[in-house]
Amino acid sequence: MTSSLSYQIGGFTFTLANQINYFHGIPINAGGYEFDTDLEQEILTEGLKVTKTFGGHLFVDASISRNDFLQEAAVDHYWTPSAGVGCRFNDRAGLPPGLAKKDHLPPGLERQLQRNGTLPPGLQKRVQPLPEQCSTRLPRLPRDWSRVVLSGRIILLDPRQRIVDLFWLQN
């Protein structure tokens, strides 16, 4: 079970969270070896994360969490620090108002968005380039290739505007 509370101050977001987990081990037999994990443990995790956004797309975050074993264990608790860099963007950018409010494209357009396919004419002018803050962190593309954003996807297009690859973004 997890709970969290976030508060924004200026360009910073502060998030407090806690989580309780239950682990139960099972015996494992592999390649003639037997491992009896005999584990049964509850772990309570509490932490703080601070996120700073730059230009609406790029962000950095840092966090610290304390993990407490609620049953007897070799250690009572441990700390986990972490840091990261990421990129966000509006995955509905450039769509007409009727489509921008939907979670997906109409079925006919969905079927056309596939590898080795092409962007339907009505959507070719509606795609948005991948934000520069994101694309600079990725490998350089061949000349005249592009990465675009459309309806929850990043799409890789070749010079003839064929879809070379695509993947869904998840929140």
- Domain residue extents for the chain: 2-87, 97-168
Q: Of 45, 46, 51, 47, which is closest to residue 14 (Cα–Cα)?
A: 51
Reported confidence tier of residue 121, pLDDT bands at 50, 70, 90 = confident
At 171 the pLDDT is: 47
User: 138 or 83: whose pLDDT is higher?
Assistant: 83
pLDDT more than 90, % of the chain: 22
Nearest to 52 by CA among 83, 89, 21, 96: 83
Mean pLDDT, residues 8-17 taken together: 89
- Fold classification of 2-87 is Outer membrane efflux proteins (OEP) (2.20.200)
Please report which confidence band the pLDDT of residue 100 belongs to, taking 50, 70 and 90 as the band edges. Answer: very low
What lies within 8 Å, CB to CB, of 111 at 6+ separation is: none
Mean pLDDT for the stretch of residues 38-46: 88
Say which residues have a Cβ less than 8 Å from residue 45's Cβ, sequence separation at least 6. 17, 18, 19, 20, 21, 65, 66, 67, 68
Average pLDDT, the chain: 80
Q: Does 2-87 match 97-168 in CATH topology?
A: no
Q: Which CATH number is associated with domain 97-168?
A: 3.10.450.160
- 95 band by pLDDT with thresholds 50, 70 and 90: very low
Q: Beta strand pairing status for 146-150 and 2-9?
A: unpaired
pTM: 0.49
Model confidence at 115, in pLDDT bands (50, 70, 90)?
low
Task: Tell me: pLDDT of 170 over 90.
Answer: no
Least confident piece of the model among 4-13, 68-77, 113-122, 133-142: 113-122
Q: Check pLDDT > 90 for residue 86.
A: no
